[in-house]
Amino acid sequence: MIESTFILRTAVVILNWNGRHLLEKFLPSVEKFSTLPNVSIVVADNGSTDDSLSYLRLHHPDVQIIALDHNYGFAGGYNRALKQVDAQYYVLLNSDVEVTAGWLPPLLAMMQQKQGIAACMPKIKSETQRDFFEYAGAAGGFMDYLGYTFCRGRLFDTVEEDKGQYDAEKEIFWATGACCIVKASLFHEVGGFDENFFAHMEEIDLCWRWKNAGYAVWFTPKSTVYHVGGGMLPQNSPFKTFLNYRNNLLMMYKNLPQKTFRRMIFFRMLLDSVSACYGLLTGKNLLPSIWKAHGSYRKLQSNYKKIQRPKKYPSQVYHQSVVFQYFIQRKKKFENK
């Protein structure tokens, strides 16, 4: 029963960095639609230099504030903040997300009803095109066998209109950090986010580690939120490109069986080179960012010498290439319902 969740301590934790304008626009919806017993709202400020903190204290006095001394990125910021939050469930929520009436109870219900669950996420739709899914999460995240991540409802730059085609609860590979609920004890059990990632794909790495430890991640369509997307780094940011390529390689290096990774890395280097060339042909010079990403990944490998690698892929890995299907076969939808 949904009512049983009310005895649990739940913290909606928003990580902010120079986002006063986003807090002003979206925090009121969070306060309005999160008024459940034993639910608190926390804003963890990542060393903002704008007037975010003074705005919060003046206009949202009931919101708890954790003020960090500088910008630790998404991974480091949340790690430091969540150590200070006493709750059984953390709801990680981007500052550019508009929540809706009834968004929270289905997430809490799923966390209690599913055995071995570590996290779940709602349906993520676009705040600007409200009939369409949003890039960062859509209807649940997956990964193909070459390590390329994607979502139901979004393949590369193709985003689907929501016509109810994914309106079924489903176990997924990863839940987006834009909005997901996680079991606090399991977050800390696996060490939280990997701070070497700084930002981007740290939630996928976290979900992969949960998978390797035997836990599950789920999607529920009974909850819907609207996400602006892009955050502090626009889609065409060279730093964002660097983080995405570097962190994807790190994630595979850490979480794949060693023999599998050795076989895969050749193909990934080849495909990354193709991606850089494609970028040049389409007016996007990705080469410096991709080159830098590969160099940084090689330097960081030494940080993971003592990790215990899994013996096989976890479930929910898509055993085909979404790159081949999308660019060669021209399949624009992920058809595994």
Local confidence pLDDT in tens for the 337 residues of the chain = 233 334 579 999 999 999 999 999 999 999 999 999 999 999 999 999 999 999 999 999 999 999 999 999 999 999 999 999 999 999 999 999 999 999 999 999 999 999 999 999 999 999 999 999 999 999 999 999 889 999 999 999 899 999 999 999 999 999 999 999 999 999 999 999 999 999 999 999 999 999 999 999 999 999 999 999 865 556 678 999 999 999 999 999 999 988 889 888 888 889 899 888 878 888 788 889 999 999 999 999 999 988 888 888 777 788 899 989 998 999 999 876 5
Give the pair of three-digit tokens for residue 42. 């926390």
Q: Are 128 and 228 in contact (CB under 8 A)?
A: yes
Give the pair of three-digit tokens for residue 57. 């204290």
Q: Taking the model in full, what pTM does it have? A: 0.94
User: Smallest Cα–Cα separation from 75: which of 234, 213, 192?
Assistant: 192
Q: Which amino acid would we find at residue 183? A: K
User: Tell me, what CATH number does 121's domain have?
Assistant: 3.90.550.10
Q: Which amino acid would we find at residue 301? A: Q
Q: Which residues, listed in sequence order, are joined to residue 218 by a DSSP beta bridge?
A: 120, 171
Does any domain span residue 337? no
Q: Do residue 165 and residue 212 come from a single domain?
A: yes
Q: Do residue 166 and residue 292 come from a single domain?
A: no
Q: Are 124 and 136 in contact (CB under 8 A)?
A: yes
Residue with tokens 């998978």: 211
d(CA 49, CA 43): 15
Q: Which amino acid would we find at residue 83? A: K
d(CA 241, CA 47): 24
Domain, as residue range, for 290? 238-300+309-327
Q: Do residue 250 and residue 223 come from a single domain?
A: no
Q: Do residue 186 and residue 261 come from a single domain?
A: no
Give the pair of three-digit tokens for residue 294. 């590969």
Does any domain span residue 334? no
Q: Do residue 186 and residue 263 come from a single domain?
A: no
Does any domain span residue 335? no
Does any domain span residue 90? yes
Q: Do residue 38 and residue 147 come from a single domain?
A: yes
Q: Do residue 197 and residue 251 come from a single domain?
A: no
Q: Which amino acid would we find at residue 267? A: F
Q: Using the 8-state DSSP alphabet, how is residue 129 labeled?
A: S
Does any domain span residue 16? yes
- Which of 169, 201, 227 finishes a domain? 227
* Structural domains of the chain, count: 2
